[in-house]
Amino acid sequence: MDRKKTVVTGFLWRLAERFGAQGVTLIVSIVLARLLDPEVYGTLALVTVFTSILQVFVDSGFASALIQKKDADDLDFSSVFYFNIAICLLLYAGMFFAAPWISAFYNRPELVPVVRVMSLIIVISGVKNVQQAYVSRTMQFKRFFFATLGGTIGAAVLGIWMAWRGYGVWALVAQHLFNMTVDTLILWLTVKWRPKRMFSWQRLKTLISFGGKLLVAKLIDRIYNECRALVIGKKYTAADLAYYDRGWQFPNLITNNINDSIDSVLFPVMSQAQNNIDDVRNIVRRAIKTSTFIMAPMMFGLAAVADSLIPLLLGEKWQPCIFYLRIFCTTLAFYPIHTANLNAIAALGRSDISVKIEIIKKVLGLSILFVTMWFGVKAIALGALGQSLLNQIINSWPNRKLISYRYGEQLLDILPAILLSLAMAAVVYAVTFLHLSPWATLLIQIPLGVGIYVLGAKLFHMESYEFALDFVKKFLKKHD
């Protein structure tokens, strides 16, 4: 199978997996948001600040090193598997004993059992992690589809039932744990790889030279991202954190599906092409242009329909999250630049650069957070937007030399999609001035937005539109 066919097939399976699972998650989150108060979501968010940081030890570093290493074999995979399990058990023990301190930090005694139960997700992830790396390395993305969807559907039923029965935050905890457990079990049943009775510290040290630096970079990134939630949870209310978090959830749901699909397929392909800089540059350029063409209209369109969508889906009690949703839609519209540039740096084996740029970004970001935290949660969100725009420049800066692809060129490549998306969003938002019911407004806004964007792309002969259309035609013809 040639590289182009492998990338397209892998991307489509990964995209189907992400959209299938997240589609179910979206429906469930809408139902749960109507059953549960914002305070409940805020309570869980207080805990996931910590579990999310520790999750980096499971999701990053060694798994990426296994994918990147050209001659990784069973000894590499088995060594990482056993090491990961040991680390995850230690991390869980740390969270178990730290639960009273976390509870005292927020002055919320009820958090102790929630922390201890929710932290089990770290151990479950450790069992699943290397299996995921094997699937990504061998590009068997069809396996992810069945594993993720099975866990998501089962967790949806359990979460809604528990919320309806009045279990509050435990409905959300059970949903997360059940999802991860079933996802892991299905992956283990469908993927042939199993850990062997072998272990090598020498192989582990080799992988640490790459994965360790990447782990540090992603750990710094995650701690920084969770700092905002930590500050909001401590300085403001759980409801404030819930509005902020929910404003992030909807746009992130879309970008995660697209970015994770591209990320999981693009990184192994770039790693295979790492000896040919022209190939890597072309892959990065194509990824930035095509994913922005898809993502930008979704983000700006979502921001435009927020006034009708949020009250309709979640109820009036969630209306304060609209401001945050629009901020994060703007931020995430430019995420393809972040993803593709960081993938290129990692695929070329320059994890040392990844660490350096993460340190620079976080020093700037923490400075912005320190200034904005005194002026309210909205100021914190606006500061995050400003930091994201700066991060684009920082992430792309090394690639002006590594792959000869400058930030200015990247902006020019995505400019047509951004301008068309903004024009479409302006027209869509104007519909709200008709003062129709939320349902009627959305029924006009959505088809109008899609029509304007597709027609505009066709009239202006946008290269990304023609590329995407050509791919779809070939795929449909092949499966006719």
Find, among 336, 342, 348, 346, the residue nearest to 279 by Cα.
Answer: 348
For 196, 219, 256, 418, the CA distances from 328, given in Å and listed in that order, are: 44, 22, 13, 15
The alpha carbon dihedral of 43, 48, 51, 53 has a sign of negative
**pLDDT tens digits, 303-342:** 999 998 998 888 888 899 999 999 999 999 988 888 788 8
Res 109: pLDDT: 85
Q: What is the pLDDT of residue 1?
A: 46
CB 49 within 8 A of CB 174: no
Give the chain's largest Cα–Cα span.
Answer: 68
pLDDT at residue 7 is higher than 90: no
The three-point CA angle 114-247-27 to 5° equals 75
Q: What is the mean pLDDT of the chain?
A: 79
What DSSP designation does 289 have? H
In a domain, 248, yes or no: no
* Number of alpha carbons in the 13 Å side-chain half-sphere of residue 337: 28
Handedness of CA 413, 415, 420, 425 (dihedral sign): positive
Residue 458 lies in domain? 265-480
Ramachandran class of 60: left when φ > 0, alpha when ψ lies in -120 to 50, beta otherwise: beta
Examine residue 48 and state whether it is found in any structural domain, yes or no: no
- Total number of domains in the chain: 1
- Of the listed ranges 7-16, 86-95, 275-284, the least confidently predicted one is 7-16
**Does residue 164 fall inside a structural domain?**
no
Q: Each residue of 345-387: pLDDT tens digit?
A: 777 777 678 778 878 888 898 999 999 999 999 999 999 999 8
Q: In this structure, is residue 231 part of a structural domain?
A: no
**Residue 13 belongs to a domain:** no
Q: Is residue 370 part of a domain?
A: yes
Dump pLDDT digits (tens) for 184-221: 887 777 777 787 888 778 777 776 766 666 677 677 77
CA 40/CA 344 separation, integer angstroms: 40
**Are the CB atoms for 284 and 343 separated by under 8 Å?**
yes
SS3 141: coil
In a domain, 343, yes or no: yes
The answer to whether residues 180 and 154 touch, using CB atoms and an 8 Å cutoff, is: no
272, part of any domain: yes
Please report which residue ranges of 107-237 form alpha helices under DSSP H.
Answer: 111-118, 120-137, 142-164, 169-190, 201-235
